[in-house]
Every structure is written in C-alpha cells, then in structure tokens.
Chain A
Amino acid sequence: KNEVEQSPQNLTAQEGEFITINCSYSVGISALHWLQQHPGGGIVSLFMLSSGKKKHGRLIATINIQEKHSSLHITASHPRDSAVYICAVSDNYGQNFVFGPGTRLSVLP
C-alpha cells in the first residue's frame, strides 16, 4: 500500500514569498495529483503529473519519479492562496487514490 507524506504540515508565509510544499510516496504510481482545499471544504484539482514539470500561473509542480518525490511551488504568494494543499497518488491502474495528510498554508498580508 502506498504511503504519502507531506511537509511541512503547516506553513505561514508573508505575501509575496516563494512557497514550497513537498510530497513523497513509497510505491510506484501512475500519476500524482496536487489538490487545493479551501476552508469551505471545496476541492480543486491543481495538477496531475506523471513526469517532469507543469506550470499554471503562479503555481509550479515538479515530480521526480526515481526519488518518488514531488514539490508544489507558489511564486509571489497572496492571501487568497491560503488553503490546505493535498498531494494524492494514483496507482498503476490509475484508479486507486491515496491522499497525503495535507499542508495548511496561511499567507499573511
């Protein structure tokens, strides 16, 4: 069974700072997902990646398959980025999702 870990557990940053959230997993996967959950509970899928790097606006996600590690970066952070960021992996069949515990980010103005 895949184990997914995230660090840090909590993160407080000042507006404008560069932020990195890390995710590691124990077993080979077909894809890794970064999700964003706002205080109301709604979840938005930010990225799905199986290799390399993806960029969307101020968000960048990278994955190193050999090291079983992924990072989510937020450039020029803003208070509206405050949320819980969850890493999830799907197995070789692409259907069984295992979630990390989440990283709670607070960006202060």
Chain B
Amino acid sequence: EAGVTQSPTHLIKTRGQQATLRCSPISGHTSVYWYQQALGLGLQFLLWYDEGEERNRGNFPPRFSGRQFPNYSSELNVNALELEDSALYLCASSLRNEQFFGPGTRLTVL
C-alpha cells in the first residue's frame, strides 16, 4: 500500500512569491494535516482538512491557506513568502486518530 506522498521534495522561492505544496494521503484516509518544522524548532500544527473542509488551523497568519480536493489530496499555499517561512513542511493523513507522515517538502525562501 502506498504511503503519504508529497511534492515537490524541495522548493526554492524568493521573498514575496507564492509557494504551493501538495500532498496525497493514503488511500481511504479522509483527513490530511499540515505541519511546519522550522530549522531547530519542533513541529507546529498548521492546518487540518477532513472530508474537503478545513476543520482547524494552528496559530499561523492567513497567508497560509490550503484546500482539500474530492479525492482527499490537499494543497498548502503560502502567499507573500517571508524568510522565516523556510522550513520542512510535513503532511500526514489519518484514519482513526493514527497519523501517517509523508516525507516532507523542504521550502527555502531566499
């Protein structure tokens, strides 16, 4: 069974640009979570989608947004990129409270 996949693996942007990160959950999982892990810091919860709806968001500004598609895949969009947005962005899918993580997208903002 395929695990959670994320694309791209690496993404380099400059300040002010927009970044789009993608996540495909494990087949049958309806919940997708996004996390940010900045260098040297712990995991921070960003967004939770379930059945196409945003269910909860962490303490991040509105320029962090996303959506979940009918096939349960998800996009994370970060607008007006700032240097401190450089981080590893992890997606996880969930079934019955257990989360399975993707390999992450490393975003670098120059």
6 shortest A-B CB distances, which residue pairs?
A43-B101, A99-B43, A94-B97, A101-B42, A41-B104, A48-B98
A42 at interface, CB cutoff 8 A: yes
Residues in B lying within 8 Å of A, measured CB to CB? 31, 33, 37, 42-45, 48, 50, 55-56, 88, 90, 92, 97-101, 103-104, 106
Summarize A's interface: helix, strand, loop or mixed. strand
Report yes or no: B42 in contact with A45, Cβ–Cβ below 8 A: no
CB atoms of A45 and B101 under 8 A apart:
yes
Chain A residues within 8 Å of B92, by CB: 43
Pick 5 A–B contacts, CB within 8 A, sort by A: A41-B106, A45-B98, A86-B43, A95-B31, A101-B42
Specify which chain B residues have a CB less than 8 angstroms from the CB of A90 in the assembled complex: 97
| In the complex, chain B residues whose CB is within 8 Å of the CB of A63 | none
Q: How many Å lie between the Cα of A52 and that of B42 in the bound state? A: 27
Residues of A within 8 A of B (CB): 30-31, 33, 35, 40-45, 48, 86, 88, 90, 94-102
Residue of A nearest to B43 (CB): A99
* Nearest CB in chain A: distance from B60 CB, A: 14
A90 to B37, CA, bound (A): 18
Given contacts A41-B104, A42-B104, A86 and B42 within 8 Å (CB-CB): yes
Contact between B42 and A95, CB atoms less than 8 A apart: no
B103 touches A41 (CB 8 A): yes
Is the Cβ of B43 less than 8 Å from the Cβ of A42? no
In the complex the two chains form, is B97's CB within 8 Å of A48's CB?
yes
Are B103 and A42 in touch, CB under 8 angstroms? yes
Contact B88 A95 (CB under 8 A): no
Are B42 and A33 touching (Cβ within 8 A)? no
A79 to B28 Cα, complex, angstroms? 35
Bound-complex Cα distance A52 to B62 (A): 40
